[in-house]
């Protein structure tokens, strides 16, 4: 098996999602240089207030090499970034959560965006994070309408209005009494995650935490959906 993995590594080398160098350890989420140089968020910096959530924690600031890596994932559709980004979100959640959640879920794309992209970037991250944490990953939400890109709106109130009513609980979603970790790629004002957390709480969830790869400042820098 090791031989096979080695041969596959030569054919399909695994690259660092942040700088594109080939990883010596194909299981690692990033290269040693990025491990040292990326803008990691430490302590309280990692937390952003999100309505209806008990905490939203992000591994990285959305600057330096991070925006390009996120764009590569979402817009150049490099699905392989889902695993390393999910692992980094999982590590961040484990560093900051006061309790172990019961399950992971994600803030879904609209059907239209999902068709365009071919995958849901938050779902891939949630699945990788759940596998790393040994926790189930469950679909819980549906995006009802195709909203304007949040990054086109810099006013936090407009961002909140834009996503209001945009999500609904999936029929049969098992959220009642559960502590859920909601995963997404980037948090900015937290409007989207707050709206999702609200719907999950209304559906009977016990508490919601959020984990994202990166935290942006909300100046329209964080890319579209």
CA count, 13 A, side-chain hemisphere, 193 = 30
Decide if residue 28 touches Zn ion (CB under 5 A). Answer: no
The rounded distance, in Å, linking the Cα atoms of 198 and 200 is 5
> Residue 32 CB, nearest distance to Zn ion (Å)?
8
The residues, any chain, with a CB within 8 Å of residue 131's CB and separated by 6 or more, are 86, 137
Is 186 a binding residue for Zn ion by CB under 5 A? The answer is: no
Which stretch, 14-22, 108-116, 118-126, 170-178, contacts Zn ion (CB under 5 A)?
14-22
Of 15 and 160, CB closest to Zn ion? 15
Distance CA 53, CA 74 (A): 25
CB of 106 to Zn ion, least distance (A): 25
Out of 14, 15, 18, 153, the only residue in the binding site for Zn ion (CB under 5 A) is: 18
Q: Are 129 and 97 in contact (CB under 8 A)?
A: no
Q: Is 124 in the site for Zn ion (CB under 5 A)?
A: no
How far is Cα 88 from Cα 92, in angstroms, rounded to an integer? 6
Closer Cβ to Zn ion, 17 or 190, answer by number = 17
Three-point CA angle 113, 212, 22, nearest 5°: 85
- Interaction between residue 31 and Zn ion (CB under 5 A): yes
What's the min distance (Å) between Cβ of 190 and Zn ion? 28
The residue ranges that bind Zn ion (CB under 5 A) are: 16, 18-19, 31, 34
């Amino acid at each position: 098996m090791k031989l096979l993995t080695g041969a596959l590594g030569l054919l399909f080398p695994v690259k660092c999602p942040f700088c594109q160098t080939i990883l010596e350890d194909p299981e690692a989420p990033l290269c040693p240089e990025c491990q040292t140089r990326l803008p990691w968020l430490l302590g309280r910096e990692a937390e952003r207030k999100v309505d209806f959530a008990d905490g939203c924690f992000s591994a990285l600031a959305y600057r330096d090499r991070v925006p390009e890596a996120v764009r590569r994932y979402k817009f150049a559709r490099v699905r392989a970034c889902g695993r390393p980004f999910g692992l980094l979100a999982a590590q961040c959640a484990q560093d900051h959560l006061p309790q172990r959640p019961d399950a992971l879920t994600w803030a879904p794309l609209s059907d239209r965006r999902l068709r365009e992209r071919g995958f849901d970037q938050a779902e891939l991250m949630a699945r990788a994070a759940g596998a790393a944490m040994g926790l189930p990953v469950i679909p819980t939400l549906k995006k009802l309408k195709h909203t304007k890109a949040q990054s086109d709106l810099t006013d936090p109130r407009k961002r909140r209005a834009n996503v209001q009513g945009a999500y609904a609980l999936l029929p049969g979603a098992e959220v009642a009494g559960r502590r859920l970790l909601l995963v997404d790629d980037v948090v900015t004002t937290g409007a989207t995650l707050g709206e999702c957390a609200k719907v999950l709480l209304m559906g009977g969830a016990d508490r919601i935490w959020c984990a994202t790869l990166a935290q942006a400042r909300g100046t329209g820098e964080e890319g579209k959906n």
